[in-house]
Structure 1
């Protein structure tokens, strides 16, 4: 893993989250000179920095459908941390029981090893500023601590999660009028849940919502949000309505709103009997964003495509997760499991912005409607998309081709050789 940036690259990957780091590792493993740019101090994105340390789903109906680079790192990190894997053959469990619990610190270190061993040039604490197409290459300006740095690339892979590169390059990104809420991952402790007077706590909660000291979306938990919150220590239970991340201003608003919600909840519970010793055991430094922008792709994945298990002719990876729409108005979660036997696929055309040359997207900003996006946005699916994008970009750059000139069969064959599982296997 190099930290000395060269001038010219075959592939530049922007964003080191669940899609980005596998894309960079895959590109470099194929011999392409690759740069990975990440704004945070650790790779892994949502899994490591935002605290959603339950990547999935890699298996469908008891059978593995997503493998390759991302899966290898997750499995490796779980083994090193002494965390047992779920029983994937028990596929009739609730979907969240088949996600893989990981230690974020260990996973971040394992990802570092994968990136280093592949020979990826890595810049952390770096954001891209501008991107311009000049002749047959992309010129990218990066904002590093030492100032602005310019590099060029034959191919760009946008794994920002918000289609930031796509937008700065002048292509369209789409946003729904109402977006799903974000979540600040927090773990509360210091109490005995079984000893609490839950009816009294429910009444106190209702009074707090009525007088405005708590907001209705602060505790996301269905018919009895207090019981659900305390049972889980508050993990994945704080909704931040309107949270999105397409600009620094939007991101700032989401972070501040998340911490304000955390403190409202902290103050409220510490005033209740049995909860005076409540503590915040851990918190994520970033608000987790469920939904922001998607690209205007050559194809658009609809809910009907996803729930039918449509096998696109240019499908490069599988996705497996229920439709999981968190109501933008804070009225609960719409979870719709897939019909037995259905395994959706992700087409390359949904990863290519309309009108773009040698620019491919992987991760949650791949083209799709809100319902489909609520499912394929999850970490395992993003890892599979990222590896596929890495193959496509490396093959295009090394042979002076456009992304779409690289045949689907060639990409699939290479993915298989690299340990991935592709539609049709």
Structure 2
């Protein structure tokens, strides 16, 4: 086995592949599948033992809807979930529903069936860069430090960890440096969903419009007229809840889990810096306390929850935004307003500018009508500083507000489709990723996907 000298230590090189994907989350998994479909050797380096990132480890389900035609990898994942007897369509909304265990398994199978490799439980440490190119990354494994050699590298870390270590310029937060709010999701089991559904609908709730009885959603935002608010207020008066617990409440059923709901809450108060490791740890402690209060409140106050119990907490926080690279093109909210088109537009977005901001920052924009969209240029995925690096995920090159639209799962998966194809094109044509003409890539996507 070859070795690499790293700060005076000889580190074993355990992989040498065409494409190294750092981060097996929403974008990373899609990139890997795409690259493998282009017949290049691919490795996913994942710090946990579960693919899917925020989808699985942060319990972010269902997938928010898009009305644009998604690309092949997105469709492939949904089709495989359906084969796993997981209903992904509620018949009413454009959401794609899943449970996290099924999605994790499906992503793993789609990668390994195509000959891809996955290195779990491996934490990225640093990269080795020569003449503007990354040659190796260093990871910490159960056997200590190891090196991985590659021809192309994909930063799918969500926090731009690989990009920052390679010297790529980054920004974070809004104009005041404040990031979007953190969530800490959880699941409860033992819920009588039919009783809960009957109760909610009997109160003339207008929020949930899903007609299929296998799918259900509840929510409570103060001052929005939701029927659950009086129950939260009563619990607050009885000291069963605290004011922060009422900030935002939402829960979804889980396909294949008939008594389970996944909760898109609590929102952690007072944490304005998601890039601070101390504050992230503080958010975990605060969030866990809030989860326990909510899990005790629901059986006591809400019909259908009488026998419910806390099933599990997310394995990681729901971080909506942290670092963003400064790439060859910075996508802005004006591009959203203009429904921008680009010669190198490799993905489409139509989600609204969904800012969960501590300071309630927003933009005056009209939501898209069905069929309207903006394009994401390939230049927002590549950097000036590194030849063989492409970036996929919420941390591509954009403004704070624009990031709040492009970060949803179907859009990120489509970025991954393009990134995997770009890595293959780069290798087969001996061309740097950051000089590759994205117009060729867009044309290739149109040919393959009728995109």
Give the TM interval when normalised to the shorter protein: 0.7 to 0.9
**Pairs within 5 Å for 1:325-404:** 325-329=355-359, 337-404=367-434
CA deviation map 1:107-137 (0-9, x unaligned): 2211112101222121011121001212454
Q: Structure 1 pair 198/400, CA: closer, same or farther in 2 (3 Å)?
A: closer
Answering whether residue 183 of structure 2 is matched by residue 183 of structure 1, we say: yes
Please give the root-mean-square deviation of Cα atoms over the aligned residues, in Å.
Answer: 3.3
Q: Structure 1 pair 313/414, CA: closer, same or farther in 2 (3 Å)?
A: closer
Deviation, 1:28, is 2.5
Deviation, 1:246, is 4.1
Deviation, 1:8, is 2.5
Could you tell me which of 284, 288, 291 is aligned with 2:318? Answer: 288
Q: Would the aligned equivalents of 2:134 and 2:166 in 1 still touch at CA under 8 Å?
A: no
The answer for the alignment partner of 2:21 in structure 1 is: 13
CA deviation map 1:169-224 (0-9, x unaligned): 1222211122221222223455765399968634434436xx7x745442344xxx
The separation in 2 between residues aligned to 1:382 and 1:142, in whole angstroms, is 25
Answering whether residue 150 of structure 2 is matched by residue 153 of structure 1, we say: yes
**Pairs within 5 Å for 1:247-326:** 248-269=277-298, 277-326=307-356
Answering whether residue 257 of structure 2 is matched by residue 218 of structure 1, we say: no
TM-score w.r.t. the length of structure 1 is 0.82
Task: Give the gaps of 5 or more residues in structure 1.
Answer: 88-92
Q: Secondary structure at the match of 1:9?
A: strand
Answering whether residue 232 of structure 2 is matched by residue 236 of structure 1, we say: no
The answer for the alignment partner of 2:124 in structure 1 is: 128
Deviation, 1:158, is 0.3
Q: Would the aligned equivalents of 2:46 and 2:123 in 1 still touch at CA under 8 Å?
A: yes
**Pairs within 5 Å for 1:50-129:** 50-60=58-68, 65-83=69-87, 85-87=89-91, 97-129=93-125
Query: Which range moved further: 366-375 or 133-142?
Result: 133-142
Q: Structure 1 pair 84/169, CA: closer, same or farther in 2 (3 Å)?
A: closer
Deviation, 1:71, is 2.3
The separation in 2 between residues aligned to 1:273 and 1:319, in whole angstroms, is 37
Q: Secondary structure at the match of 1:345?
A: strand
Q: Secondary structure at the match of 1:257?
A: helix
The separation in 2 between residues aligned to 1:112 and 1:234, in whole angstroms, is 22
Q: Secondary structure at the match of 1:240?
A: coil
Q: Structure 1 pair 362/420, CA: closer, same or farther in 2 (3 Å)?
A: farther
Deviation, 1:244, is 6.1
The answer for the alignment partner of 1:168 in structure 2 is: 165
The separation in 1 between residues aligned to 2:443 and 2:229, in whole angstroms, is 59
CA deviation map 1:81-131 (0-9, x unaligned): 2415245xxxxx7xxx21110122222211112101222121011121001
The separation in 1 between residues aligned to 2:15 and 2:86, in whole angstroms, is 42
Deviation, 1:264, is 2.8
Deviation, 1:278, is 4.5
Deviation, 1:261, is 1.6
Deviation, 1:250, is 4.8
Could you tell me which of 137, 142, 161 is aligned with 1:140? Answer: 137
Query: Which range moved further: 336-345 or 360-369?
Result: 336-345
Q: Structure 1 pair 276/406, CA: closer, same or farther in 2 (3 Å)?
A: closer
Q: Structure 1 pair 357/112, CA: closer, same or farther in 2 (3 Å)?
A: same
Q: Would the aligned equivalents of 1:15 and 1:160 in 2 still touch at CA under 8 Å?
A: yes
Q: Structure 1 pair 43/233, CA: closer, same or farther in 2 (3 Å)?
A: closer
Q: Structure 1 pair 355/362, CA: closer, same or farther in 2 (3 Å)?
A: same
